[in-house]
A = this chain, B = another copy of it.
Amino acid sequence: MSAEERRESVVRAAVIEFARNGYRGTSTEAIARRVGVSQPYLFRLFAGKQAIFTAAAERCIEETWRVFDEASTGLTGEEAAAAMSEAYMGLVEDSEQLMMQMQLYVSVFASRMAGEDEIGETARRLWGELFERVRERVGGDVEGTTEFFAYGMLINALVALGFPREHRIWDGFGDKAADGTADGTAGKTAERTAG
């Protein structure tokens, strides 16, 4: 297998391990085991553990946009927003994607506290780009986009805490979360702008 292909599989494995156990809680040994390669070999493919984490985080944000884009291609405004909301709700099943985001947030903060903000700069740039892309897709409404991301963050937290989707805590998300009765909206985006 070429180094480039190996790097790809390392990133995929790293997303899973880092999402589940965080930066400090993940050993390079665990990543290597998942890839099926010896642990020292990771250091031939990446400059260090931090570089693997950064690559996993970038992948995760790119993948999030890919999900949004795929769900909303050809749509605009409220329709696009609803489609992306629904797509994000679908990620609740695939919790690695959501948790890798959370791990990125806390790791960026930790790095900044430690006096380094390199990963923070990267994360803010990527996150800002994601925000702008979503904003364009829904038609430029900043407040609506902010609300969209707000609900996304709450979903992350509820998934992390392990509230099952039947739990009452999900009741406030329209009726999409609890029983899948799609009314074409998710979050409160449609209601808000219709109000």
Q: Is A136 interfacial (CB 8 A cutoff)?
A: no
Which among A31-39, A62-70, A75-83, A145-153 touches the partner chain? A145-153
Q: Is A117 interfacial (CB 8 A cutoff)?
A: yes
Residue of B nearest to A99 (CB): B109
Q: Are A95 and B109 in contact (CB under 8 A)?
A: yes
Number of copies: 2
Q: Are A173 and B146 in contact (CB under 8 A)?
A: yes
Q: Are A113 and B154 in contact (CB under 8 A)?
A: no
Q: Is A91 interfacial (CB 8 A cutoff)?
A: no
Q: Using A147-B147, A150-B187 as known contacts, list a sample of 5 further A-B pairs with CB atoms less than 8 Å apart, ordered by residue number in A.
A: A20-B109, A23-B25, A105-B157, A120-B161, A127-B161
Interface centre among A102, A106, A154 (most CB of B within 10 A): A106
